Amino acid sequence: MKQLERLLFLIKVLKAMPFTSHELLAQLSEQNNKSSIRQLQRDFKDMALLLSNNETLKSYRKDKLKYFFIEISESHFTNANESKTYKNTNFYVQSKPKQINFNLNAIENAIKESKSIVISEIKNDETGDNNNFETKNIFFQPIQILIHRDSYYVGGYNIVKKCIQIFGINQIEKVALSNQFELLVETSKMFDDELNKRFGVTKNINEHTYKIVLEVSSVLSEFIKNHHWHASQRFSKKNGNTLMHLECGINRELLGWLFQWMYNIRVVEPEILKFYYEKTLNDIQNNNNSKATLVYRNLFNNTKN
């Protein structure tokens, strides 16, 4: 494998998911290219010449290992400001970029330095992890920064409540570095398990995962199959339509996702998802017919934090 081929291969795999140096060497070995850590370090420097303007080689530490990945900012295809043939609708793009960047930098530094943080105030409710609006002095071990629907979130361990939580960066008012800590394998695994249970980043109604089956119309199914929604997604055929299979928890984000497809999708199972789907439909109808002042509510407010 020539140098250019090697660099292009490394870029391809690092766009797909994060890898350690040793994992990258193993990937290269499978391509009949035996390399070294020193050569890999040189490749990282040369790689920058081949990346697009909206692509950056980045790294983070987890379980005492250093992972590398390529971050793609803005559009996955191009920077809309650089080409007249592309236009970014900015749909879902967050406002207040200065505040977001400040919080992101502070949290990224905390992760790199293995420090916990104190979040002095969290506003509103984006993921269900702040649905009781307990906003003051949250002692938090940040584990991972997440990009979801073109918005930024931080996932980590609430030291007082002893549970995994995810907050929107926009929710965070002030961040201060706190104590040094050792990110335990158990805590990191708790985060990965929790994220895999969630559909998106929103808190589930309970600790259970469900085998979810959805029937999707033939035309819509082509769009759905061409996008990533959850790690467990798989598809099968039934009566000319597509069945989408998921194994995850039930949350507000899942219901909202179902409603956006309107009459082109139906819940086959489980019964509990059918119940919440129909209950939400009825509540929306009743709310639409009401003249009462709108008050924020979360369907799953009665669940345990």
86-118, pLDDT tens digit by residue?
A: 777 778 777 766 777 788 888 888 888 888 889
- Sheet containing strand 136-148, strands side by side: 163-168, 151-158, 136-148, 115-122, 172-180
pLDDT at 244: 97
Q: Which residues share a beta bridge with 267?
A: 214
The model's pTM: 0.69
Closest CA to 6 of 21, 20, 27: 27
184-207, pLDDT tens digit by residue?
A: 678 888 999 999 999 999 999 999
| Greater pLDDT, 134 or 293 | 293
Closest CA to 68 of 107, 11, 108: 11
Closest CA to 182 of 67, 61, 69, 66: 61
DSSP 8-state code for residue 49: T
Closest CA to 152 of 73, 229, 77: 73
State the pLDDT confidence band at 78, using cuts at 50, 70 and 90: very low
Which domains are seen in the chain, by residue range?
3-82 (1.10.10.10), 97-197 (2.30.30), 210-289 (no CATH)
- Average of per-residue pLDDT across 117-128: 88
Q: Note the residue count of the chain.
A: 305
| Region of poorest pLDDT, from 57-66, 186-195, 253-262, 283-292 | 57-66
Greatest mean pLDDT among 97-111, 124-138, 281-295: 281-295
25-47, pLDDT tens digit by residue?
A: 988 888 888 888 889 988 998 88
CA distances from 33 to 1, 30, 50, 57 (A): 6, 7, 20, 21
